């Protein structure tokens, strides 16, 4: 069996980790698995593990919407699909799903055979600040139409699945949810990490934010929270279009670091903060829990499937005051942080295994074939 995965780009983050782990696992399980991808945009960093994959590059494919480049990318994708001649085409995220599924009839006619089309939602764009109003309505309409061209829809999280169901977005089979596989990182020692990031007062509580510095992650919220908690040190790690703005607006107790290796930065954190407006299944929060770091996060996407409220972290509304109160609660009790951290690690180890990720996909592919 041959499976061709298609994604717009593999920028450093949860979706790339999910797909790279899945691709490796499927290959080891006897399935010929390939990844076709474009390139990251300015301000992003490509996942370094992509070097091990030898992906099929699509020159004009990327996240940014461009009619000219997207039409070129669609043509490139057809050529790649004809060359690979897969049994299953598995698209990931909106752009790749659009450019491929809209061509389903033409692709199958060119191949001279019927193939199965699978699409994975690693979240959705319905609550993304970049896609409000008419754009959100248009995206929902497009996804409804594309879902009819899909043999199977997958979500990374049950809550995202429920969101799609409520919008009437269904494939030919019942949508299924498959959680990601996340393994504990080989962390740098805490002492060397503190030294690397210039931590002078080790008694001050440290809060880490690690994500793309862009609208949907709402890093500006960290500025407001940090201003209200001057007795706590905040570290914002990541790159994106809002990075320079964050550097200019950051108060004294907030260090804006740019892109950082999670293995190096996680050890300095007493608390992990997520301020997102929208999420799928956030890998960074799982990695934080695997590192035994308690999490404070906004209640978006599948966050409640990752964080056990009042057991491994605190889930809040999109209220700065509520997030401030949650951080204060953890900052004032080392015992509570330790308790939540241990519980989070146990839960994450149990819930996000590579074995389940690979076996569930393989079973699905065999069923479709």
The string of pLDDT tens digits covering residues 73-94 is: 999 999 999 999 999 999 998 9
pLDDT tens profile 242-253: 999 999 999 999
The pLDDT of 348-364, averaged and rounded, is 94
Task: List domains and CATH numbers for the chain.
Answer: 2-181+353-368 (3.40.50.2000), 190-351 (3.40.50.2000)
Write the pLDDT tens digit of every residue in 184-242: 999 999 999 999 999 989 899 999 999 999 999 999 999 999 999 999 999 999 999 99
What number of CA atoms fall less than 13 Å from residue 110's CA on the CB side? 16
Cα separation, 27 vs 182, in Å, equals: 18
Beta carbons within 10 angstroms of residue 30's beta carbon = 9
The predicted model scores a pTM of 0.77
Residue-wise pLDDT for 286-303, tens only, equals 999 999 999 999 999 889
- Quote the percentage of the chain above a pLDDT of 70: 98
Share the mean pLDDT of the chain: 93
Sorting pLDDT into bands at 50, 70 and 90, what band is 279? Answer: confident
User: Residue 116 pairs with which residues in a beta bridge?
Assistant: 88
CA distances from 177 to 98, 180, 350 (A): 20, 10, 17
Contact between 179 and 352 under an 8 Å Cβ cutoff? The reply is: yes
Which H or E run includes 329? Answer: helix 320-331
pLDDT one-digit tens code per residue, 23-46: 999 999 999 999 999 999 877 889
Per residue in 149-171, pLDDT (tens digit) is 999 999 988 988 998 998 899 88
> CB pairs under 8 A, 24+ apart, for 332-340?
336/294, 337/270, 337/271, 337/294, 340/294, 340/295, 340/311, 340/312, 340/313
List b or e across 318-337, with b for residues whose CB sees 16 or more CB atoms inside 10 angstroms.
eebebbbebbbebbeeeeeb
pLDDT in tens, 94-136: 999 999 999 999 999 999 999 999 999 987 766 666 666 677 7
Give the mean pLDDT of 272-291. 93
Max Cα separation, the chain? 67
Nearest CA among 301, 294, 3 for reference residue 124: 301
């Amino acid at each position: 069996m041959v499976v061709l995965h298609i994604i717009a780009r593999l920028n450093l983050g949860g979706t790339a980790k999910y797909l790279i782990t899945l691709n490796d696992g499927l290959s080891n399980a006897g399935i010929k698995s390939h990844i076709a991808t474009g390139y990251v945009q300015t301000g992003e960093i490509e996942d370094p593990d992509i070097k091990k994959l030898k992906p099929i590059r699509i020159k004009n494919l990327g996240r940014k919407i461009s009619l000219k480049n997207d039409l070129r990318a669609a043509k490139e994708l057809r050529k790649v699909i004809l060359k690979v001649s897969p049994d299953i085409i598995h698209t990931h995220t909106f752009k790749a799903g659009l450019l491929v599924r809209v061509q389903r009839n033409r692709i199958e006619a060119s191949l001279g055979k019927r193939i199965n089309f699978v699409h994975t939602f690693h979240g959705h764009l319905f609550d993304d600040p970049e896609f409000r109003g008419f754009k959100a309505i248009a995206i929902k309409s497009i996804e409804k139409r594309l879902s009819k061209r899909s043999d199977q829809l997958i979500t990374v999280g049950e809550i995202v699945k429920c969101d799609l169901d409520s919008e009437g977005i269904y494939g030919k089979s019942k949508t299924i949810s498959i959680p990601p596989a996340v393994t504990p990182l080989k962390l740098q020692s805490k002492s060397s990490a503190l030294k690397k990031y210039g931590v002078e007062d080790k008694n001050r509580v440290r809060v880490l934010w690690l994500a793309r510095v862009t609208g949907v992650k709402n890093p500006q919220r960290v500025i407001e929270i940090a201003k209200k908690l001057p007795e706590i040190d905040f570290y914002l790690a990541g790159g994106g279009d809002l990075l320079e703005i964050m550097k200019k607006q950051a108060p004294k107790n907030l260090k804006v670091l740019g892109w950082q290796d999670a293995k190096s930065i996680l050890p300095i954190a007493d608390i992990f903060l997520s301020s997102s407006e929208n999420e799928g299944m956030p890998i960074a929060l799982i990695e934080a829990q695997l590192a035994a770091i308690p999490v404070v996060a906004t209640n978006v996407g599948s966050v409640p499937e990752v964080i056990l409220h009042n057991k491994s972290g605190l889930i809040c509304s999109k209220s700065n005051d509520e997030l401030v109160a949650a951080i204060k609660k953890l900052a004032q009790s080392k015992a509570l942080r330790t308790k939540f951290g241990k519980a989070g690690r146990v839960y994450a180890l149990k819930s996000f295994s590579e074995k389940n990720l690979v076996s569930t996909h393989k079973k699905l592919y065999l069923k479709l074939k």
